[in-house]
């Protein structure tokens, strides 16, 4: 059993870490720390039952106590509480996912307490890399980069001689203003900067990304993490975000972390396995060997989809739903709005990689999705044998959205047609 403390548990990295823990019975949460999102933190405490919980502001402690007063957990607050969460004796690894320079001190103290660090805070190394890395070496502590680009580099260097590194290649999408001329940027608004073409990363990081400032920080982070001079770290604009990062060695070899199946990342199912899964599900559903709920459970488990809902009829009433939604899924009537229907292609598919793209044209839809913690979704319509229209929605929660691949669309379309056929047939019997 691996004991973990998570600093910044209600943020993007924190919630994704907890998603991983849900799927791995051998990981135990011993401490949680968050800033001001009291209700979210309380829900996490109820689910994961840590020994200690920290809220950022002391004045929020009474509210937190009200929500979790029946649970045996120590409540702390502020900077001192954050350090206590980072150094709790039972923790073996500390995930540092807090924002900004406030991550430095708890990381330092965790290293001194001989905790391994899963680092998702750029500023810690940008501002104090010379302290952090030397201290980690002195205390024999491992630093595991969580930031996607640096995690990719870390994986590429696994088992390799770092003395043979010729160059580290960091990729960048170019953000929402790639290719724009100076004149095009004169009237840029905040909403424009928040429309990142590929990722949803929270407002601060998205703004930093729009100006490419974040990539400068990543260069400095890579310098400290991998022990290379800044001149050996090169940034390459790669709009499709297919390659996360690459390492070039002195012998000319290049190792790359390629997200060719980017929707669910490396380590999950490859395209052929997804097609086999879809075929198997459709066959079993058609023969009555698999229930709809079993299908939804299989898809969430195998494909790392956070939530799935099935809607039916003119009002798009929810008839099936699975996943940890913040609010009950009742209906999705907005999909029948004439204007919104234009989002669906000729095959009845609507792909939204980042719900921020809906803020201007469909603000109410955006708010509804955001309030249910949805950041990316895939919607598929299909006509049932009972004459009714159905829609199946696949949701990704949090703030770190995923780009749906062609493979995902094709295999999930197969499943949707099979499931809708089974449901509508049952309803007419």
The tokens describing 208, both together, are 């930093």
Across residues 290-298, what is the average pLDDT? 91
Is pLDDT of 238 > 70? no
pLDDT surpassing 60 at residue 266: no
> pLDDT at residue 202 above 70?
no
Structural domains of the chain, ranges and CATH numbers in brackets: 2-143 (3.40.50.720), 151-258 (no CATH), 271-428 (3.30.450.40)
- Output the pLDDT for position 200: 62
The two three-digit tokens of residue 401, written as one number:
């959205």
At 399, the pLDDT band (50, 70, 90 cuts) reads low
Identify which has the larger pLDDT, 365 or 157.
Answer: 365
Q: Which helix (H) or strand (E) holds 205?
A: helix 203-210
pTM confidence score: 0.59
Average pLDDT in the 151-178 region? 81
Which value, in Å, is the radius of gyration of the alpha carbons in the chain?
23
Cα(37)–Cα(60) distance, integer angstroms: 9
Q: What is the mean pLDDT of residues 189-205?
A: 73
Q: What is the pLDDT of residues 304-345, one digit of tens each?
A: 899 999 999 999 999 999 998 889 999 999 998 889 998 899
Q: What is the mean pLDDT of residues 162-172?
A: 85
DSSP 307: E
What is the widest separation between alpha-carbon atoms in the chain? 71
Record the tokens describing residue 350, joined without a space: 């609507």
Taking alpha carbons only, the member of 411, 395, 415 closest to residue 19 is 395
Distance separating alpha carbons of residues 317 and 389, to the nearest angstrom: 11
Arithmetic mean of pLDDT, 140-153: 88
Long-range contacts of 319-324 (CB under 8 A, 24+ apart): 319/423, 320/292, 320/293, 320/296, 322/293, 322/296, 322/297, 323/395, 323/397, 324/397
Strands of the sheet with 254-258, listed across from one edge: 233-237, 165-172, 243-249, 254-258
- Please enumerate in sequence order all residues whose Cβ is within 8 A of that of 342, keeping only pairs 6 or more positions apart, or say none: none
Q: Specify the pLDDT at position 388.
A: 92
């Amino acid at each position: 059993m691996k004991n973990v403390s998570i600093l910044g548990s209600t943020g993007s990295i924190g919630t994704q870490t907890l998603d991983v823990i849900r799927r791995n019975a051998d990981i135990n949460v011993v401490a949680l720390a968050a800033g001001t999102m009291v209700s979210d933190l309380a829900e996490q405490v109820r689910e994961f039952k840590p020994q200690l919980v920290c809220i950022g502001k002391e004045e929020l402690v009474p509210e937190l106590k009200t929500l979790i007063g029946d649970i045996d957990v120590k409540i702390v607050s502020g900077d001192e509480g954050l350090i206590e969460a980072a150094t709790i004796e039972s923790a073996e690894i500390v995930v540092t996912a807090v924002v900004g320079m406030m991550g430095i001190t708890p990381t330092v103290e965790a290293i001194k307490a001989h905790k391994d660090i899963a680092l998702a805070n750029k500023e810690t190394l940008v501002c104090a890399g010379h302290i952090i890395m030397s201290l980690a070496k002195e205390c024999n502590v491992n630093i595991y980069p969580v930031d996607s680009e640096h995690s990719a580099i870390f994986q590429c260097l696994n088992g390799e001689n770092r003395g043979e590194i010729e160059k580290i290649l960091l990729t960048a999408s170019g953000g929402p203003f790639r290719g724009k001329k100076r004149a095009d940027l004169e009237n840029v608004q905040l909403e424009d900067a928040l429309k990142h073409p590929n990722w949803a990363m929270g407002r601060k990081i998205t703004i930093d990304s729009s100006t490419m400032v974040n990539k400068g920080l990543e260069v400095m982070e890579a310098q400290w993490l991998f022990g290379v001079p800044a001149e050996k770290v090169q940034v390459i604009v790669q709009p499709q975000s297919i390659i996360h990062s690459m390492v070039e060695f002195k012998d000319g070899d290049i190792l790359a972390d390629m997200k060719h199946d980017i929707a669910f990342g490396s380590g999950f199912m490859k395209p052929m396995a997804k097609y086999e899964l879809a075929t198997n599900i459709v066959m079993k559903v058609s023969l009555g060997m698999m229930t709809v709920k079993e299908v939804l459970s299989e898809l969430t488990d195998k494909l790392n989809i956070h939530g799935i809902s099935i809607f039916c009829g003119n009002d798009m009433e929810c008839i099936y739903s699975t996943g940890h939604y913040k609010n009950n899924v009742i209906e999705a009537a907005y999909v029948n709005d004439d204007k919104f229907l234009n989002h669906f292609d000729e095959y009845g598919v609507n792909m939204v990689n980042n719900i921020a793209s809906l803020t201007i044209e469909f603000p109410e839809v955006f708010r509804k999705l955001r309030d249910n913690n949805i950041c990316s979704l895939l919607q598929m319509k299909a006509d049932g044998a009972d004459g009714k229209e159905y829609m199946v929605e696949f949701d990704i929660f949090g703030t770190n959205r995923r780009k749906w691949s062609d493979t995902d669309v094709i295999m999930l379309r197969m499943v949707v047609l099979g499931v809708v056929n089974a449901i509508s047939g049952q309803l007419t019997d």
